[in-house]
Amino acid sequence: MTNRYLLSGRILFAIAVTGFGAICLFYTDFVHSLQPVPESIPGYRVLAVATGLLLASCGMAIAADFKVFPAAIVLAALLVLWIVLLHVPGAFIEPALLRSPFWIRTFECLALGSTALILAGMARRPAREQWIRAGRIGFGISLPVFAVLHFIYPESVAALIPAWYPWPLLLAYLSGAGHLAAGVAIAIGVWSRLAAIVAGFMFALWALTLHLPRVIVHPAARSAENPAGYGGDRPELTSFCVCVAFWGAAWIVAGALSSRDGSAAKALNANASGEDPLITG
């Protein structure tokens, strides 16, 4: 029987990663906020394009279910490097960042890197259950951090909610509570599969009703500076891809878990029988 959540999650996650790469290539710049590379670094634009090509390659390989293990390992390593080489040093260079929403980006990298680790663990034969468990915990502990953002800056979160939603401030607090509850459940392995499924639907709702309308703006006129005629901006596109990536990541976690005990038993059984763990379950 097809594991719909795992398959859908993998495709969504891969599309988002490919989107990161495409944005890097289009703007000849690094991934906005997730990759705070100093512009003074030698070969800034060349490195940005190389990053875009690497991200796009990893995303397309994962989407095509081709060489998933090396693609996922490279992606996980890349995201860890962003944390170690960019985010952590940045906190020491500019301590004020720790008192702003910027540090949320560190845990976004952790969550996405943890998801890549799950994919890598499931792509091995036999599957690496330790990797899958570590990825689940890494993804889970990231979500309560996002909840803190909603609780500290509820007005800012409410301002992002479309006007046709009722009670935006209440929704800001509720979404924070959703992050907290889902993250704790996923991290400790209690009702973790249900929590991951619901979290995926939560991210899907935000991607389609909050972020996508902010991306679909009135097209601008084509010009030498804007050859594609796109009127949006890089931060909005990146935020949309992040939300889609989390949508896919939550369902990857759900698909990797047994509905009974929160383990990766189904994926491991698929490996033992010679089936593709990323497709069947």
Average pLDDT, consecutive stretches of 10 residues, N- to C-terminus, the chain (281 residues): 81 98 94 89 95 97 95 97 88 66 84 97 88 95 91 84 86 93 95 95 94 73 52 80 97 81 46 42 32
CA 167/CA 169 separation, integer angstroms: 6
Neighbour-count burial for 222-239, b at 16+ CB within 10 Å, e otherwise: eeeeeeeeeeeeeebbbb
Residue 280 covered by a domain: no
Contact in structure between 218 and 231 (CB atoms under 8 Å): yes
Backbone phi, then psi, for 84, in 5-degree steps? -70, -40
Residue 281 covered by a domain: no
Residues spanned by the domain of 150: 4-272
DSSP-based three-state secondary structure for 127 = coil
Contact in structure between 186 and 140 (CB atoms under 8 Å): yes
pTM: 0.86
- If one counts the domains in the chain, the total is 1
Structure-block tokens of residue 240 = 């949309």
Residue 181 covered by a domain: yes
In the numeric block, the tokens 């891969």 are attached to: 14
Residue 277 covered by a domain: no
Residue 279 covered by a domain: no
Residue 51 covered by a domain: yes
Q: What is the pLDDT of residue 262?
A: 43
Residue 201 covered by a domain: yes
Backbone phi, then psi, for 207, in 5-degree steps? -60, -40
User: Helix axis angle, 168-188 relative to 192-206, nearest 10°?
Assistant: 150
The span from the first CA to the last CA of the chain, in angstroms, equals 6
Backbone phi, then psi, for 280, in 5-degree steps? -105, 160
Residue 21 covered by a domain: yes
